[in-house]
Amino acid sequence: MSLQSHSYERCRAFIDSNFVQPQPESPRAPLALTISREAYSGCHEIAEELIRLLQKDKRLGEHSWALFDRDLVHKVLEDHHLPKAMAKYMPEDRDHNFTGLINEILGLHPSQWELFHHTCDSILKLANIGNVIVIGRGAHIITRHLRHVVHVRVICPLEKRASRASLRMDISYEEALKTIKLDDAARAAFVKSHFDEAVNDPMAYHLILNTGKLDHLEAAQILYQTLRTR
């Protein structure tokens, strides 16, 4: 068995033994949302616009909503009393840091398996609390047994994403294209290696939003109406 296959088997066994059984929910469990996204598809802008809409809603906005993306890493470290410096060893959109691998072998910091375990735990805690939007890290798979969690994937044509990235990072279109392809590939590899699933499987989501056809406000309004009807 390859090292990658062994890693996947451990991840799958952990998820199956801990998370597949539906947990008790209150009659009106607080809603939560996971967003899987292609790089530079505009998911953060959508999420921020959605939170503004939710906060104005008397029922859905009764309690504040929170967005977790990069902040999720810091939440994991805080929950499990790990040093903030560990954040650099927990990328979703980059290959495993070589220095991190050596330190893991030497026992200088928690293994990637332990960090994955902690991430799953923190995502589940957030989802069960509710009123959260969690971006990336296979959150749609980790929480798919929870009926009160809605899963969405945000996509956009590659050319449009490259133009957006070029402007935002002040780099050439060709450089932006290369960066986006690397990010997309790394995120797909993260989901494949940890869950043995394809991140772009349409059956894993309630909705797929194409920001090549929708602007950020239109996409946010679709999500808002979806949450209102649940």
119: in domain: yes
Residue range(s) defining the domain that contains residue 71: 3-22+32-228
**Per-residue confidence (pLDDT) for residue 110, from 0 to 100:** 53
Q: How many domains does the chain have?
A: 1
**Per-residue confidence (pLDDT) for residue 15, from 0 to 100:** 47
Distance CA 143, CA 149 (A): 7
61: in domain: yes
27: in domain: no
102: in domain: yes
Question: Model confidence over 175-216: pLDDT tens digits?
Answer: 999 999 999 999 999 899 889 999 999 999 999 999 999 999
130: in domain: yes
DSSP three-state, residue 79: helix
DSSP three-state, residue 132: strand
Question: Model confidence over 45-81: pLDDT tens digits?
Answer: 999 999 999 988 878 767 788 888 865 555 555 554 4
- C-alpha count within 13 angstroms, C-beta hemisphere, residue 4: 8
Looking at residue 147, the DSSP 8-state letter turns out to be T
Output the domain CATH number for residue 146: 3.40.50.300
Spell out the alpha helix ranges (H) of the chain: 3-19, 43-56, 70-79, 98-105, 112-129, 139-142, 158-169, 173-195, 216-228
Distance CA 140, CA 152 (A): 8
**Per-residue confidence (pLDDT) for residue 61, from 0 to 100:** 66
What predicted TM-score, i.e. pTM, was given to this entire model? 0.76
CB under 8 Å to 188, separation ≥6 — which residues? Answer: 198, 199, 200
**Per-residue confidence (pLDDT) for residue 9, from 0 to 100:** 54
Contact call for residues 35 and 135 (beta carbons, < 8 A): yes
Question: Model confidence over 82-127: pLDDT tens digits?
Answer: 444 444 444 444 444 444 443 443 344 456 667 788 788 888 988 9
Contact call for residues 133 and 64 (beta carbons, < 8 A): no
**Per-residue confidence (pLDDT) for residue 115, from 0 to 100:** 74
Q: Which two tokens stand for residue 89?
A: 């060893």
